[in-house]
Structure 1
């Protein structure tokens, strides 16, 4: 099951209880899987990547508060509707925005890829801001980057209940309403049995019990406290969950850096080779990976590999591969410069003594080159630590992804980002301190 777990009460990660994904959609999916004899495995992703995950066969179906639209029907098949929701306007308390007419000519925020994008068509000359995540939209609202945000009713109520500086106003539903359904790849064999199981849940009242559970007495808004200013006290029970992201971030950084250095060293030797094919390959490789965005490379590896090879590459492996390949393109030039900076006399002396070329490069030239380029290598590692936040878009539970999860759990848009920013800063300081100690030791060895 593919889902975007930042949309309570439909799906979100319960960070305070070990990181389990919970919500209405999860309960429905578990009940259907149980009826059909399947084991449910949940694959988190950003909302705008869910259709791509279906089309690349990374997931068998999607449940993520996804509305049935004619445009989406061109790409996927839908089950019967299991819940009908309405939309609401979220704005600052004194804004006076109570209807779509009040938003004429205003800047309005919506989630990218959501049906709320269609709602703004009913506004006269809107200035629309589209972002991936609801917490980002709320933060933009509080920072006065948008005048109002349009989101689904239950989500809007959660944010308004946890932030007394926000208010909500209902948007009259269309004749069709906002129907949520399960999405499948075109021609999926699961559509019919899922519809049958879903109808059984409706007939025996189980579905209504689930809806009452998540939209009734279990509202979390009232338990979070209110008031202006910063509320770091609400994050106390989430610190352990956030800190576990340090391990993922460091593991990813070390693997990417090691792979990037090894492959970059090989590419640098290709560039210095007398073989034209090797020089041409390394030049084209560097040009491609330095000339295209890293995020694009990450998306291509994550979504294209399963489609082209049939191998469902894990998100962390896809991220490590993308970042390693990208880093190697930059490091190859750095290492090549370090090699060329070594005095030519050492190479000539080694050759005159009959030392084989490979031994000379790896035992004499390369160690001196690494010493010369150590500051540049440290800078690359620092960049990898910070750029690792990009892996959150494919569901890797790094620091940035965990911040988003806590945002969804607490309905706080700003405080989790400050905490994670401080952790990134500490990691970079630690890395640069270790690099300075290594530089001093290498100088003493001269």
Structure 2
């Protein structure tokens, strides 16, 4: 009886526990449904659950990488605004990157939903993309050496002036050149490169936005900047969208709300005002005593982990391209020696195209054209591996063909007389000998790919060189991070060379 009573008691407790669990599950389910309905209602106002923002994160304080402790996070004024809009409209935000002159092409190729990069809505840009309202206005400045006395537009007559390619500063410089005679413009991809050209004496001055110029002037005591009086194109920043985008209105509504509630002012003070209200250190300080490099690698020590994180990506990219390129090159070489004319024609035409056009052009076409032609949103890494595979395959095919044809004809005749099939003969007899003969050439191709991997930085891959450039942009320095990146490449190439030499010695001993 006692056992039966305890059993009934346990049964009652179990039923109570089940009821509590059922009630708790019902509450959680209700909350999830409410939250899901709320989120989907908001997300439907922008048409997509996840929006991709593309930017050029080498333009502090608008957008730049946080590089401390190796962290790879893009931060800045524009990023904070984008996150506020994300929260208001209820979508998930994905951030992609590219060089500044590749941002609008990325929109046109449907690789992104909007651009935030301190971009000014000029008439020329409005022909290709739509813009939001202006969310921040800045001023352009003349950056030059303190000893140059270049303080106003009229002083630039007969001078070489640097500008960043594709920016409003480039267009404003062209306006100045129409009024001031004999100005020669020099377009470069990045502001750090422009500043370095000034320091090297290759250009006399540069047109740079005030908030960006301030950082470089503080980091380079021999430079100064002076604000240019207002010209026709105001350097106001706006968000860019693809033509006809439905995002313009909801984004404008949020931006207007941020203006009204003071959020934009708060963010601008956070990123700009603290620096802009300070007296620039270099404006009143004496010019630098020496024009030497004054290298100080201590400045990049905290950012070394950030640069080192580019090594696995560079190696994975290189090894993937070499491995796939070797297979593709082998197939092409078989086409060329097969005696089947259509295959031979195809292989020869293919090789001539990929050896006769720039690798950077091939990379840009694959990355930007693939989404438009196929609808597949190819990633930057995939585009890089695919392009380098196609390109290296063209070069390797000639090397492998030469290696195969260098094998003594007696090997072919002996295998055929023994009844060995052609595929088996090539795989077991001819190819191993050919690869042994062409190993140095293949190593050279691998080394070339390792160094050429820096080209993928143009489509937003943060490998070794791009990491070094980011650190340089953040620290307003140039040589130290690039020299450190060069050291990394050298160590990798030497390691690859030693490994290849060891493999070659082993193959010789096995003969």
The TM-score with structure 2 as length reference comes to 0.85
| Partner Cα distance (1:272, 1:428) in 2 | 33
| Partner Cα distance (1:289, 1:142) in 2 | 39
SS of the residue aligned with 1:216?
helix
Are 1:114 and 2:114 an aligned pair?
no
SS of the residue aligned with 1:42?
strand
Q: Residue in 2 aligned with 1:167?
A: 224
Are 1:411 and 2:484 an aligned pair?
no
Shift, 1:218, TM fit: 6.4
4+ residue segments displaced more than 3 Å: 218-222
Instruction: Note the residue ranges of structure 1 that are not aligned, 5 or more in a row.
Output: none
Q: Residue in 2 aligned with 1:129?
A: 186
| Partner Cα distance (1:423, 1:143) in 2 | 25
User: In 1, are the aligned partners of 2:76 and 2:271 still within 8 Å (CA)?
Assistant: yes
Counterparts of residues 347-362 of structure 1 (less than 5 Å): 347-362=412-427
Max Rg structure:
2
| Partner Cα distance (1:137, 1:319) in 2 | 28
User: In 2, are the aligned partners of 1:61 and 1:183 still within 8 Å (CA)?
Assistant: yes
Shift, 1:340, TM fit: 0.2
| Partner Cα distance (2:304, 2:216) in 1 | 21
User: In 2, are the aligned partners of 1:260 and 1:331 still within 8 Å (CA)?
Assistant: yes
| Partner Cα distance (1:196, 1:441) in 2 | 69
| Partner Cα distance (2:93, 2:182) in 1 | 44
SS of the residue aligned with 1:94?
helix
Q: Residue in 2 aligned with 1:191?
A: 248
SS of the residue aligned with 1:110?
strand
User: In 2, are the aligned partners of 1:139 and 1:414 still within 8 Å (CA)?
Assistant: no
Are 1:314 and 2:379 an aligned pair?
yes
Are 1:399 and 2:460 an aligned pair?
no
Shift, 1:210, TM fit: 0.3
| Partner Cα distance (1:141, 1:423) in 2 | 28
Q: Residue in 1 aligned with 2:60?
A: 8
SS of the residue aligned with 1:195?
helix
Are 1:179 and 2:252 an aligned pair?
no
| Partner Cα distance (1:50, 1:256) in 2 | 26
SS of the residue aligned with 1:217?
helix
SS of the residue aligned with 1:251?
helix
User: In 2, are the aligned partners of 1:91 and 1:148 still within 8 Å (CA)?
Assistant: yes
User: In 2, are the aligned partners of 1:120 and 1:126 still within 8 Å (CA)?
Assistant: no
| Partner Cα distance (1:374, 1:126) in 2 | 53
Q: Report the count of equivalent residues.
A: 444
Are 1:388 and 2:388 an aligned pair?
no
Q: Residue in 2 aligned with 1:294?
A: 359
Are 1:92 and 2:145 an aligned pair?
yes
User: In 1, are the aligned partners of 2:172 and 2:231 still within 8 Å (CA)?
Assistant: no
Q: Residue in 2 aligned with 1:444?
A: 509
The correspondence for 1:340, drawn from 389, 393, 405, is: 405
Q: Residue in 2 aligned with 1:248?
A: 313
Q: Residue in 2 aligned with 1:203?
A: 260
Are 1:261 and 2:331 an aligned pair?
no
Shift, 1:401, TM fit: 0.7
Shift, 1:116, TM fit: 1.2
SS of the residue aligned with 1:312?
coil
Change (3 A) 1:375 1:175: closer
RCO higher in structure (CA 8 A, sep ≥6)? 1
The TM-score with structure 1 as length reference comes to 0.97
SS of the residue aligned with 1:154?
helix
Q: Residue in 2 aligned with 1:233?
A: 298
Q: Residue in 2 aligned with 1:212?
A: 269
Shift, 1:108, TM fit: 0.9
Shift, 1:216, TM fit: 2.4
User: In 1, are the aligned partners of 2:129 and 2:240 still within 8 Å (CA)?
Assistant: yes
| Partner Cα distance (1:151, 1:94) in 2 | 19
SS of the residue aligned with 2:115?
coil
SS of the residue aligned with 1:169?
strand
Two-structure CA RMSD over aligned residues (Å): 1.6
Shift, 1:49, TM fit: 0.2
Please give the per-residue CA displacement for 1:111-133, whole angstroms capped at 9, x wherever unaligned: 00011112222132222111111
Shift, 1:99, TM fit: 1.0
| Partner Cα distance (1:237, 1:294) in 2 | 34
Q: Residue in 1 aligned with 2:85?
A: 32
| Partner Cα distance (1:313, 1:269) in 2 | 29
| Partner Cα distance (1:180, 1:325) in 2 | 40
Please give the per-residue CA displacement for 1:79-103, whole angstroms capped at 9, x wherever unaligned: 0000111111111221111111111
Q: Residue in 1 aligned with 2:14?
A: none
